[in-house]
Structures are given as structure tokens and as C-alpha cells.
Amino acid sequence: MNTHNLMLIDPHIHMTSRTTDDYERMRQAGIVAIIEPAFWLGQPRTEAGSFKDYFSSLVGWERFRASQFGIKHYCTIGLNSKEANNEPLAEQVMELLPLFVCKEGVVGVGEIGYDDQTPTEDKYFRAQLELAKEVNMPVQVHTPHRDKKAGTIKSMEVCLEHGIAPDMVVIDHNNEETVKDVLDRGFWAAFTIYPNSKMGNERMVEIVKKYGSERIIVNSSADWGVSDPLSVPKTASLMLERGISIEDVRKTCYQNALDSFGKSGQMHESDWLQSTSVDQREKFSDNSVLRGGQTPVVGEINTTGEPGSNIVR
Amino acid sequence: MYQADIQATTTYLKELLERSTTSQGLEWLTQKMELVSSEKAKPKDFYLSFSAAPRFIGKENLHLTQQELQMADMIRSGFNPSHWSAAQAARTLLLLSLPHQDGESFFSQIETLFNTADMRELVALYAALPLLPHPELFRKRAAEGFRTNMGDVFEAVALDNPYPADYMEMDAWNNMVLKTLFVGKPLFRIYGIEKRRNAKLARILSDYAHERWAAGRTVSPELWRPVAPFIDEAILNDIKKLFTQPNELEQQAAALACAESNNPSAKELLNSHPQLKELVEEGEIAWNKIGEKNLELQ
């Protein structure tokens, strides 16, 4: 993988579901910062308390864990569309959100939007847009898998109806069918490189060739499913290999993510430029990221060469 | 119901902030304080402004003059914001703006915040305890603060904070002092350390010293500060050992402990170290100095 030592950002990745090995490899591949949108767990949560602890972990333990591998961790906080359909629960989660959306390192309300496009999803999407507006935060919109084009257009129309400026909204999981509508309306268009669904690396290259790098963002959405936390560096590498300019790669795999979510005032390039070393002897609530017998890394992160082998001898 | 006059505290903190934030920041804060204190306020108005405070106020440390520190102590005995940030002062102002006539509802709003707080929010909340109305409601919460393993949070509740000395039961207090030593933090920054010395604590600390010695580890010279008035025949042996330690600060601690003890054998022991005795009498050896020097060595 050759990315000419570019600094990269993955603005959509669910690290809660990933291991520390991933963090190590991501940092070695040039990822300096990530954004973790609040997500669902694969099965619905049944109590507001599990949302509370989950949100707390996004601003607490997970931030710490990332820092131990030289990666700055940010998150977006929201009630996802799938779980918005349990109305009594959704009401309680809405009461929790004001406790979290303005915390340190929270760069937006997200990921919110539509899944089945039910009236209840619509209700809580709108309520969360109002919250984002109240605190002047960017919004990260998950677009539906089914009836995608109509759902994407509806998401944007609803944002505008609530008086939210397009440059405050990142529309996620785009494809060849939706990209033009999103860019034409002035929104940020994010693409998820995800095996077997969403977008592929090669298709992504073609999109940047066709539409340029303005307001286009690449992410991995890696989560508990079959997915790849190195999607952003791999795509950056392929773009360079296929003749896309280094400046366009830098914009789509770094700068645009920083410019869009930086509007929260919570994410600055200096956050990672000023601190490049780690100390794995540190603890969070008495917990270390290390397991028994592992040697803590202290000092600069090694980003040269290939990631170490996981073979235990 | 009150530990500190809310009006006086508010005026004081706002004056400090005038130097440490922008005029837009102050304006934002003033508006939010008015909103939070008004009858039409919803819980979310308080929660959002509490979380968002650093965005508008900044996170710079307050730089207090000696005079300002003295004023703090006049507002509330032991109140010491010398390690506070601007955001922390703003968050405290928001807490003090909450209506508090109904103690239970005041407490439950703040408890909700504690239960979802991030690290810096926890620091602000714990450090604000000595200023809040209805202090007796927060005893359990303070004890929870001692259980944390986040260093900054522990410091906020245990160090430079008069709440524990004034409100915690003896066992919780003793536990806090022991833990301060255990995590390697300075004892001299515990407010009221002298006032709350007790025989049980002295016994616990002596046991702890024995544990450390048995493991071949060093013992902080500050450990003997709460022990001093309770020197008995058993602890006298600890003090004898201290006089033989190579660390000069431990010898000084031994001398000071003897000087503060009414035990005749301890007095006798001190007489056999005339040089150290003289330094104690001249005020050259004092617990705060030992604590500060010990901190420098770490």
C-alpha cells in the first residue's frame, strides 16, 4: 500500500466493534484521526440505559483506546434510524442526547436518517435535526439501503425544511445514482467502501475521476460486519495508482472530512500534529489496553514498514 | 443549606472569567445562566450549556493572584481554585445558577450530569462540591469520586477541596487519605489533613508503611503527618526506623512527628537528634515543605 505518507482520516468507522490490532494497522497505514458515529449493535437495545453507557463509551473509553495507538478519536451522537421505531424507547433516548451532543470530541449529530422510511423514523430524524440546529453542529446522515435514491433526496429536503445549511450536512453511503443530486444541492457526499455492498474501491476511483474532489469524502464504515478498517488507505493507494492527483486524494481522504466535521469547532489539525507520541502505560478507569504480559509502547508511533505479523511463536 | 454565599461566589468567579475568556464568551455564559435560573428552563438547557461551556469559554487555566486566592478562602474557607480552568469556572457558575429551593430536584439534576459526565465534566463537578447548596446530599457522590481511577478526577475531589474534610464520615475520609498516598499524590494538598487526624487512620497508615517496607518499597515521608499525634509504643518503632533511613525527608518527618506527639518516649527520641530538633524549632522543617520537596523528587 503506497499512500506517499499522506495523513488520512476515516470519518465513519465503528471502532467499538473492532480490535486494537485494527488501530495498530490503521495508524501504520497513515490514519491520524477517525470519527465514530453512534450506531446500532446488530440487535436492538431494549433499555435507555444501554444507550447511555454506549454514548459514554464513545466519549470515554474508546477515545482513550484510540489515543493509545496514536489516533485521535471523535464521534457523532444520535439515535439511529432502525432503533427510532421503538417509540417509547426513542423518547427516552431523545432525553439523553442533550447530555452528550456538546461533550468534548463530539463533532456532530449522527448517524441519523432513514432506514425503512417510516413516519416514526421521520419524527426522530426531524427532532434530531432541530437539536443539531440548536447547538449549531454538523449532521451525519445515513441514507437507506432500500429505495436509496428517493430516501437520499428526502433526507436532504427535510434538512433544508428545518433550515439547516447544506454545508453542515454530510450525506453518507452514496453511490453512482445519488452522487450528482447530493453535490448539486451543495451537501457533502460521503462514500462507504464496504465489501459486497455500498461502494467498491475501483468504482470510487471512477467517481473521483468523474466528479473531482470537491465535497467528496471516503470512509470505511467498518463495524461488526464483514468490513475493512483499511478501506480509506487502500482506496487512497488505488487512486494514486490510477493517476488521480495527490491533491485530490488528500482532499477526499483527509481534508474534506476535516473541513466538514471541523465546523463543530471540536476537531483541529493541531490535535494530531501536536501530539505524535503515545504512552501505553496510561490507564482509563484503571483499565489498560494491554492484556497480560504485553509490553507497552512508549514514544513515537512507528509508521514505517509493514504491520507486524500476528503469528505467535 | 449554604456553604458559601451564592451571590458572592458568582461575582467572584465572573470576575476571574473576565480575564480568562472573550467578551463573546462572557455574554454567552450570562445568557445561559439567566436561562438556567429561569422558571421556563428545561433540563436540556442546563445540560447543553454545561457540556458546551469549553466551546465558548475556552479551556485555559485561570491564573490567580495571591490576593484572589485569599478572597476565595474568604468566600468559603478552604475554597482554592488555583488549579481551575476557565471552562471549569463557567460550569460552576451554571451549577450555581440552577434553582435550588427544592433540594431533591437540584440534587437529581446534578446527579444526572454526574452519571453521564466525561472526564473534564467530572473534574468540574467534584471541584464545585464545596460551593453547592445542600452539601449534605452529596456525601455518597463524593465517596464515589474517591473510587475513581482517573487521576484528574481523583485530584478534583481529594485535593485542594474542603468538602471532604467538612462533610465526609471518618471511614470515607480515612480511605481518601490512604488512597491519595496509594496513587502517589501529595498529601499536603488535602485540605484539613491536620484537623481530621484520628487514631484509626494512624493505625491504617502504619500498617500500610509496614506493607511497603516488607515489599522493599519506599514510603512517602508525608505518610507520617496524620500519624504524628497518635504515636504509641508500636508506632514508635516505625519512627525509630525513619531516623535511620537514608532519605533526609524521612528523617525530617520522624523529627516532626516526635515534636507533635505527647508521648514521652517520642520526646526522648527527638532529644537524641538535637540537630533535627533545632531545625523543627526554627520552623525549617514543616509538613508542607516536606510534601513539596518530596513532590519535586518524584
Q: Which pLDDT tens digit goes with each residue over B36-54?
A: 999 899 999 999 999 999 9
CA distance B118 to chain A (A): 7
Cβ within 8 Å, pair B47-A284: no
Q: How crowded is residue B275: how many other Cβ atoms within 10 Å of its Cβ?
A: 9
| Chain A residues touching B125 at Cβ < 8 A | none
Q: Using CA atoms, how far apart are residues A61 and A66, in angstroms rounded to an integer? A: 9
CA-nearest residue to B145 within chain A is A285
Q: Which pLDDT tens digit goes with each residue over A69-109?
A: 999 999 999 999 999 999 999 999 999 999 999 999 999 99
The candidate with the shortest Cα–Cα distance to A79, out of A148, A15, A130, A10, is A130
Instruction: Determine the Cα angle at A108 with ends A212 and A204, to 5°.
Output: 25
Q: What is the CATH number of domain A8-297?
A: 3.20.20.140
Of B52, B112, B116, the CB nearest to A56: B116
Averaged pLDDT of chain B: 96
The pTM for the full model equals 0.85
Which cell is A6 given? 499522506
CA distance A303 to chain B (A): 30
Residue A276: pLDDT band by 50, 70, 90 thresholds? low
Of A100, A103, A286, the CB nearest to B149: A286
Cβ within 8 Å, pair B51-A100: yes
Cβ within 8 Å, pair A102-B52: yes
- Site of grid cell 500498617: B207
Q: Which pLDDT tens digit goes with each residue over A154-166?
A: 999 999 999 999 9
Residue A195: pLDDT band by 50, 70, 90 thresholds? confident
A·B CB contacts under 8 A:
46
DSSP characters for A57-74?
A: HHHTHHHHHHHTTT-EEE
Domain residue spans in chain A? 8-297
Q: Say if residues A214 and A247 touch (Cβ distance below 8 Å).
A: no
Give me the amino acid identity at A32. Answer: V
Q: Which residues of B touch A (CB under 8 A)?
A: 43-44, 47-48, 51-52, 54-55, 112-113, 115-116, 118-121, 148-150
Q: Say if residues A87 and A121 touch (Cβ distance below 8 Å).
A: no
| Chain B residues touching A265 at Cβ < 8 A | 55
Cβ within 8 Å, pair A98-B43: yes
Alpha-carbon A281 to chain mean position: 27
Torsion of CA B157, B160, B162, B167, to 10 degrees: 30
For testing contact with chain B, the best of A63, A95, A99 (most B CBs within 10 A): A99
What percentage of chain B has pLDDT greater than the value 90?
A: 96
Cβ within 8 Å, pair A103-B55: no
- Site of grid cell 508511533: A301
The candidate with the shortest Cα–Cα distance to A308, out of A298, A6, A299, A297, is A297
Domain residue spans in chain B? 1-168, 173-298
Q: Which pLDDT tens digit goes with each residue over B173-222?
A: 999 999 999 999 999 999 999 999 999 999 999 999 999 999 989 999 99
What residues are paired with A199 via a beta bridge?
A193
Residue A63: partners with Cβ closer than 8 Å, 6 or more residues away: A73, A75, A105
Q: Where are the beta strands (DSSP E) in chain B?
A: none
Of A99, A134, A284, the CB nearest to B116: A99
The candidate with the shortest Cα–Cα distance to B76, out of B165, B1, B4, is B4
- Write down the pLDDT at residue B222: 98
Q: Using CA atoms, how far apart are residues B75 and B97, in angstroms rounded to an integer? A: 17
Q: Which residues of B21-54 are buried (b: 16+ CB within 10 A; e: fewer)?
A: beeebbebbeebbebbeeeebeebbbbbbbbbbb
Cβ within 8 Å, pair A99-B47: yes
Cβ within 8 Å, pair B48-A134: yes
Q: Which pLDDT tens digit goes with each residue over A36-77?
A: 999 998 888 999 999 999 999 999 999 999 999 999 999 999
- What ipTM does this complex have? 0.75
| Chain A residues touching B119 at Cβ < 8 A | 60
